[in-house]
Structures are given as structure tokens and as C-alpha cells.
Amino acid sequence: MLAVLTANLRMTLPWPLLMTKLMTKLMTKQSLINTRINDFDALLSIS
């Protein structure tokens, strides 16, 4: 019984970590893209 529980824990534990890692990666990528777009807009407005 305990072995099954630990196995289940091992299966489920990495998921939240992986998801948060993926989410943070996506968020940083999105913010980078947004800043690039903002920079581009600034350049366009200047010229």
C-alpha cells in the first residue's frame, strides 16, 4: 500500500513543477516579445 502511494506521489509531484517552469518560460518569452514590439513601435513613432 505504501509503495503504491509513494509511486503515485512520484508520478504526480513533478507535474506542478514542470508546469510552473513551463509557465514562467512562456511568460518571460511573452514579455520579451512584448518589449520587442514596444521597441519597434517606438522606433516607428520616432521616424
Summarised one tens digit per residue, pLDDT across range 1-31 is: 677 767 676 666 677 788 888 889 999 999 9
Strand ranges for 1-47 from DSSP E: none
Q: Where are the domains of the chain?
A: 3-46
Cell numbers for 26, please give them: 512562456
Mean pLDDT, range 31-43, rounded to an integer: 89
pLDDT number for residue 47:
66
Distance in angstroms (rounded) separating the CA atoms of residues 32 and 19: 20
pLDDT number for residue 43:
86
- Measured over the CA atoms of residue 26, residue 30, residue 31 and residue 33, the dihedral's sign is positive
pLDDT number for residue 24:
92
pLDDT number for residue 11:
66
